[in-house]
Amino acid sequence: MNSLLSHIVELSASDTSFSDVQVEQGQTVMCRRPDGWTESGYGVAEAEDIIPVMNALDREWKLLLKQGGAIDRAIDLSHVRLRCNAYTTNGGTRIAITIRKLPLEALSMEQLRLPAQVAQFAAMPKGLLLLSGATGSGKTTTIAAIIKRINETRAAHIVTIEEPIEYIFSRNKSIITQREIGAPGSGADSVSFSAGLREALRQRPDVIVVGEIRDADTADTVLRAAESGHYIMATVHARNAVGAIQKMLSFFPNDTATRAATLSSSLCGVISQTLVPSVDNKRFVPALEIIINADSSTTAMIANVDKHRQLEEKLKSGQMPGCVGVNTVLKKLVTEGVISRKAAMAASYAPEELDILNK
C-alpha cells in the first residue's frame, strides 16, 4: 500500500475528528476538522504519491479524467467509507482528490442529534422534501438517517439516484434500490439525475431520493413525480430554507407563478442545514432550519413569490408552528454551551439578527 494511501487509511481510523481530506499535487495534504482546515501530518503530496491512489480508484483514470473532467468513486474500508472526487487542476497539469469520510452504515436521527421534526419527514406518504446547504454541510447524512428510519418502519420501495452512491443500505422493511450516475461507458447505472429519475418512475417506487437538482429537466420531473403521489427527497444548493424554495423556482423563469402554485401543493417541507464546530472543536454540530408545509398560511406564502420575504420573516420570528429558523437553533446551542457565540455568528446567514438575539 502506498504511503499516501496508508496515511489516509490511518487517519480515517484514528480518533481525529474530520470530515474531508484534500490532496493536491505539489501541495500539503490538508484535512477539514471542526475548527477548519489544517495539515493532516503527511506533508506535500507529489505525483508519485498520488498516482497509486488514482490506480486504486480506477485503473482507467487517465482516460476517464480526459473524457469527463472528474471521477467520483467510493472506497469501502473496514471501518469507514471514503467518497473520492478526483480531478485535474492548473490546465490539466496537476491531479487533485477531495475525499469525504462517511460511516459504513447510516447513523440514526438520535445519533446525529437531529431535531424531532425530522422524524415527521420519514413518515410522509407523498410529496417533496427539499434539503439545502453548502457542500459538506451534512445533507447526505441527514437524508441517510431519514432513509434508515423509513427502512425500519415502512414497507416501501426506495430508489436512490446518487453521484456516487455514498451510504450503502441493506433491506429491512423496505426494498432499497441504489443507482449511480456516471458517464456513458463508466459502468454507472444512469447518465444523469434527470434520466435516472425518469427511469425510476417506471420501477414502481414509493420513495425516490435525488442526489441533486441541477437543471430544469430534473426540477420539472421532480415536481411531476411529487404531484403524482410519490415521496421525493432532493437536494438543492441554497443558503437557507426559503432560498431552497426560490432555487427550485429559478429553474422556471418563464413560468414562476404557475410553478410556485404547484410547489406549494406538493412541498412537504424544507431542511436547510449547516455544521458548526462544538466548543471543544471535537465534533461537528448540525444546525437545521426547518419549514413544514402543514397549514394554509404557509402554503399560501409558498404559492405567492411576492410573499417569500414574509415567509422568511415569519420563520425567523418563530411564528410558524413546527418550523424553526436557524438563528433560533444557533441561539439555543450557544445557551446550552454546545457551540461558541463566535461559531454561531459564523454559521448564521443573518448574523446581525443573531447578535440582537444574544444581547
Question: What pLDDT, in 10s, does the model give residues 36-46?
Answer: 999 999 999 99
Query: Is the domain of 135 the same as that of 275?
Result: yes
Q: What is the mean pLDDT of the chain?
A: 93
- The upper half-sphere exposure of residue 348, i.e. CA atoms within 13 Å in the direction of its Cβ, equals 27
Cα 135–Cα 133–Cα 22 angle in degrees, nearest 5: 15
Residue 298 near residue 269 (C-beta atoms within 8 A):
no
> Is residue 213 located within the same domain as residue 95?
no
Q: How many domains does the chain have?
A: 2
* Cell reading at 92: 490539466
Looking at residue 61, what is its pLDDT? 93
22 pLDDT more than 90: yes
Q: What is the CATH number of the domain that holds 49?
A: 3.30.450.90
Cα distances (angstroms) measured from residue 301 to each of 130, 154, 235, 250, 257: 17, 32, 21, 17, 12
Last residue of a domain, one of 103, 129, 157: 103
pLDDT surpasses 80 at 192: yes
Which residues constitute the domain of residue 130?
109-357
pLDDT score at 2: 63
- Measured in whole angstroms, the distance separating CA 359 from the mean position of its chain's CA atoms is 33
Domain end: 68, 103, 138, which one? 103
Looking at 82, 103, 124, which one is the last position of a domain? 103
54-85 exposure pattern, b = at least 16 Cβ within 10 A, e = fewer:
beebbeebeebbeeeeebbbbbeeeeebbbbb
From residue 55, alpha-carbon distances to 73, 77, 176, 187, 307 in Å are: 12, 16, 30, 17, 53
User: Strand 207-210 to strand 157-162: parallel, antiparallel, or no bridges (unpaired)?
Assistant: parallel
pTM above 0.85, yes or no: yes
Backbone torsions φ then ψ of 154, nearest 5 degrees: -135, 145
Q: Does residue 308 sit in the same domain as residue 209?
A: yes
Where does the chain have alpha helices with state H?
A: 3-13, 47-57, 61-68, 109-112, 117-122, 139-153, 193-200, 216-227, 241-250, 256-266, 296-303, 308-317, 326-335, 341-347, 351-357
Residue 6 has pLDDT above 60, yes or no: yes
271-323 pLDDT, tens digit per residue, is: 999 999 999 998 999 999 999 999 999 999 999 999 999 999 999 999 898 99
Residue 55 pLDDT exceeds 50: yes
232-270, pLDDT tens digit by residue?
999 999 999 999 999 999 999 999 999 999 999 999 999
CATH of residue 157: 3.40.50.300
Torsion 301-305-307-312 (CA) sign:
positive
Strand order in the sheet with 231-236: 175-180, 157-162, 207-210, 231-236, 127-132, 267-277, 284-292
pLDDT category of residue 185 using cuts at 50, 70 and 90: low
